[in-house]
A = this chain, B = another copy of it.
C-alpha cells in the first residue's frame, strides 16, 4: 500500500515536530500534530490510530505519538522530495525562494523516484534547500544541525544567515528586502528585552530593528 498524500502530510509533520523536540523518544502531543496538519483534533486521533495499526507510528493514548522506524524512513523521503523540489524551482526554474513552498507542498506527493533523482543530479546533489533547510539523503539521513538565531548569537560579531524557520511568503519577502536571506552577512548590535526588539547592522551598513519573534526565526552561524 503506497501512502496517500494525506498520510504523507501527517508523517512529515510528525517528523518535523520530532526534529524540533530534539529528543528521539519524545512523544508529539495530538493537539500540536492536529494544528500542524491543519485538521480538527478528533481527526488527528482517528488518523493516528489507523497509522499505528499499519505500523508507521507508535501511539500512546492521551500522551502523544512518535514515528516508527518505517514511518521515519517514509517521512524523510517526503521531506527530501519537498526540499529538492524547492531547490529545483529556484535554481533551475528561476522562481523566487519566497514562493516555492506552496508548489513543493503539492509536488512532493506526486514526483516519481526517477524524476526526483534527476533533479538531484541536475542540482549537483545539494545539501540544503533555498531556505537553508537540510535535504535528507536518499537513505534518509539528515544532518542534525545545531543553530544559533539572531536572538541567541553573540553581539558585535560577524554572522551569516544560514536558515529561515518560517515559510510565510510575506515574512520571506520582508527578509529579502532587509538583506536577511540565507548567505547574507550581518551583526547583532543590541537586544532590548523591554522593547522586545533586536537591532541589526546588515550588509551595506544598513541599521534595522526587528521584533524578537522574527529574530528567533532567522538562524545564523558565526563567520
Contact = CB atoms under 8 A, between A and B. Distances in A.
Per assembly, the copies of the chain total 2
A119 B89 CA distance: 11
Contacts of A95: 114-115, 118
A112 interface: yes
A195 interface: no
A214 B110 CA distance: 31
B103 A115 contact: yes
A122 B93 contact: yes
Interface residues of A, number: 19
Contact of A110 (B89, B107, B114): B107
Contacts of A102: 112
Contacts of A114: 95, 99, 103
A126 to B, nearest CB: 16
A37 B153 CA distance: 58
Contacts of A92: 92
Interface string A122-141: 10000000000000000000
Nearest to A119: B93
A213 interface: no
A103 B94 contact: no
Nearest to A110: B106
Interface of A: 89, 92-95, 99, 102-103, 106-107, 109-112, 114-115, 118-119, 122
Given A95-B118, A102-B112, A103-B115, 15 more contacts: A89-B115, A92-B92, A93-B115, A93-B119, A93-B122, A95-B114, A103-B112, A103-B114, A106-B110, A106-B111, A106-B112, A107-B107, A107-B110, A107-B111, A110-B110
24 contacts: A89-B115, A92-B92, A93-B115, A93-B118, A93-B119, A93-B122, A94-B118, A95-B114, A95-B115, A95-B118, A99-B114, A102-B112, A103-B111, A103-B112, A103-B114, A103-B115, A106-B110, A106-B111, A106-B112, A107-B107, A107-B110, A107-B111, A109-B110, A110-B110
